[in-house]
Amino acid sequence: MEELKEHIRKTGTTTVGIVCKDGIVLAADKKGTFGGSSGVSYIAGTKEEKIQKVNDRLVVTTAGVASDLQKVIKLTRAELKLKELKSKKLPSMKESANLFSAVVYQNIRQFSPILGITHFLLAGFDDEDFALYNVFPDGYVEKIEDYSATGSGMMQCDSILDAEYKENISIQEGLALAIKCITAAMKRDPATGAGIDVYLITKDRINQEIGQEIKTEYPDLKSIRKK
């Protein structure tokens, strides 16, 4: 079993969600790793897409076991489409978050020799407004009013967010803050690195603002350019 755990692909990860007055910023690094209880044993990839598009109005960050992350996203994407077809209307952000949490809850409670740990930040918009939700590995769901960080680099991010986040922050200020958080995690967390993806979510659209692979694990903020 221990030998098997060393070959489980994980996203390692640092992901950040920041609620701004005019939208939401989602950011994540791009390193994928193999590793067990001892930590990172091998870098599996440097071009991971840790922010996944669920539909035209919803994106999620991913942290945890890669295969379970894929499974949960695929199941939820299908269930949201079925719900849309049956009700003839698009699901609200609250409905989407609750469905995600239900799938995560069922996934982690299925008997398996490999624990299906997944952690998501959901950001999107509906007919009312944009919103950010945190779906924890046990299926607990929480609406976020300010900011949240997940993954192995969250400790580096939390201290920065606690100190520098302010009410009514603009989305451009949130963008700079998210980059600072991911950069700090790259310098201290061995499972975080290889680059950064950033998405901006407003009341009517989702845009990828940055998609940048970084060769060094100690990037300068100036090396990150708008896509």
Tens digits of per-residue pLDDT, 118-147?
899 999 999 999 999 999 999 999 999 999
- pLDDT of 211 over the 70 cut: yes
- Asked if residue 112 is part of any domain, the answer here is yes
Higher-confidence residue of 203 and 39: namely: 203
- Write down the pLDDT at residue 42: 65
Distance CA 71, CA 60 (A): 13
> Do residues 201 and 26 make contact, with C-beta atoms less than 8 angstroms apart?
yes
Residue 140 inside a domain? The answer is yes
CATH code at position 168: 3.60.20.10
Q: Say how many domains are in the chain.
A: 1
Does 213 reside within a domain? no
According to the model, what pLDDT value does residue 109 have? 78
Please name the amino acid found at residue 112: S
Q: Is residue 225 part of a domain?
A: no
Measured between alpha carbons, how far is 31 from 155 in angstroms, rounded to an integer?
A: 17
Rounded to an integer, the average pLDDT of 205-217 is 73
Structural domain of residue 45, as residue ranges? 2-205
- CB contact at 8 A, 192 and 206: no
Q: Considering the entire predicted model, what is its pTM?
A: 0.84
Q: In this predicted structure, what is the pLDDT of residue 193? A: 80
46 — pLDDT class (breaks 50, 70, 90):
confident
pLDDT tens per residue, range 1-11: 444 344 445 55
Q: Tell me, what's the pLDDT at 1?
A: 40
In a domain, 214, yes or no: no
Beta sheet of 14-20, edge-to-edge order? 147-151, 14-20, 23-29, 195-201, 206-213
Q: Answer whether residue 65 is part of any domain.
A: yes
* The pLDDT of residue 78: 95
Please report whether residue 227 resides in a domain.
Answer: no
pLDDT over 50 (residue 80): yes
How far apart CA 119 and CA 110 sit, in angstroms, is 16
Structure confidence at residue 112 (pLDDT): 66
Q: Within a domain: residue 83?
A: yes
Residues 6+ apart with CB under 8 A from 152: 12, 13, 14, 63, 189, 191, 192
**pLDDT tens track for 63-72:** 888 888 999 9
Report the distance separating Cα 154 and Cα 160, nearest Å: 10
Q: List residues bridging with 61 in a β-sheet.
A: 51, 121
Residues labelled catalytic: 13
- What average pLDDT score do residues 151-179 get? 94
